[in-house]
Amino acid sequence: MNTNTPLQGGALALPFTKAADPEKRGEVNRKDAALRLPYARRLPDSVRNHLVAMIGEYVGTVLFLFLALGGTQVANNIHTSSGLSQAEVGSNPQQLQYIALCFGFSLAVNAWVFFRISGGLFNPAVTFGMCLIGVLPYLRAALLFFVQILGGITAAALVACMFPGPLAVGTALGGGTTIVQGLFIEMLLTAELVFAIFMLAAEKHKGTFMAPIGIGLALFIAELVGVYFTGSSLNPSRSFGPAVVNHHFVGYHWIYWLGPILGSIVAAGFYKLITILEYETANPNQDAAAPEHDHHRHASARSSYGSNTHTYGNFADRDQKSKAKQPAAVGSPGMGSQHDMNSGLTNGVMHAGQEDNSGNATNSPGMGMGVGHDTVTRLGRGSSYAV
């Protein structure tokens, strides 16, 4: 198939225009006015980036919840072969599985689409968890929180307007579940989802590009478990939006806020525990590009939100005078390139392959495990544990 790359900026390839002519489209790409919105260059980069993230997160949340709530509307309103409604016959495994599939697949698809724009969070509880582990600044989180709630209301309103029948997508306790049980169900299921996001998306590794699939499956299995008992919200905006549109808040609506928030705290606490203990040393070389018997490997630098590396401890003594030769770091997909590891100072730490003022190449501890050593050190951590 003979195709061109997309036009840059705001130009549209309308018929009989330069943008639509393969021989003249280069003129459009070179025009500065066509690449930017009017007056957009006057916005500081930080403001523009926040605006882009808010727009992306709002649209992503709307699409995620519209598809998920739309599927729930179908499952709850469709009549059985005998002509009875779901309310008359009660819940059944096929109905619950349909709802779980809609939520899991919708999250996987939309997270994969929007993660380059805003991170594809779509959930205030996930946003809060990202703040707790230091991935997301609180200012950005507050902005995303607002548009996520607004997106939940918008999605529920669209489902109510576009699909026939009463809006039947709210969350409520069922199966004899008490309020306390519902709170802990929401907490544990959210913890499982948030921890999956930490390990698959926040942690950078060879399989990070496949993270949306694992995250969608995590939500799918959580929905299978909890949808009968609590509606399996795991997301305050998912419960708040339908409640606003229906003008009906159950007396225990608060569990759909407190439960997911507590779940994020549990997930963040466990994540911090295993990172402090450097979990990579317990099962090493899982992301190594070399064969398993090869001891040379490196771990990716942890980065704060889009910029500098941050450390999780300073337990290892850094021997700057060591003359021992360090093996070259092995790059792997999704973990950063060799150039990334050799490109300047990060928080005052010299990376492997740089030269000091005397012109001699210097090595920094924490880049990998050398042959004959019995410790594994992690780039950006500074800590080491015996293997």
Which domain-ending residue is among 276, 296, 323? 276
Does one domain contain both 334 and 207? no
Going by C-alpha positions, the residue among 318, 322, 280 that lies closest to residue 302 is 280
- Is 36 domain-assigned? no
Whether 234 and 147 have beta carbons less than 8 Å apart is answered as: no
Does one domain contain both 233 and 359? no
Distance between CA atoms of residues 338 and 298, nearest Å: 10
Going by C-alpha positions, the residue among 268, 225, 240 that lies closest to residue 126 is 268
Q: In this structure, which amino acid lies at residue 41?
A: R
**The pLDDT value given to residue 43:** 82
Whether 361 and 320 have beta carbons less than 8 Å apart is answered as: no
Which domain-ending residue is among 276, 295, 325? 276
Distance between CA atoms of residues 228 and 93, nearest Å: 9
Does one domain contain both 224 and 366? no
Which domain-ending residue is among 223, 254, 276? 276
Does one domain contain both 121 and 216? yes
pTM (predicted TM-score): 0.72
* Residues with pLDDT less than 50, the chain: 292-325, 327-387
Does one domain contain both 250 and 294? no
Could you give the number of structural domains in the chain?
A: 2
- Is 23 domain-assigned? no
User: Which residue range forms the structural domain that includes residue 336?
Assistant: 285-387
- Is 16 domain-assigned? no
- Is 2 domain-assigned? no
- Is 354 domain-assigned? yes
- Is 9 domain-assigned? no
Does one domain contain both 112 and 253? yes
**The pLDDT value given to residue 101:** 96
Distance between CA atoms of residues 241 and 112, nearest Å: 23
Does one domain contain both 149 and 250? yes
Does one domain contain both 334 and 235? no
Q: Which backbone phi and psi does 376 adopt, to 5 degrees?
A: -115, 125
**The pLDDT value given to residue 129:** 96
Does one domain contain both 65 and 212? yes
Does one domain contain both 204 and 91? yes
Does one domain contain both 316 and 265? no
Does one domain contain both 226 and 291? no
Q: From residue 307, give the alpha-carbon distance in Å to each of 136, 137, 347.
A: 11, 12, 10
Going by C-alpha positions, the residue among 189, 177, 210, 182 that lies closest to residue 334 is 210
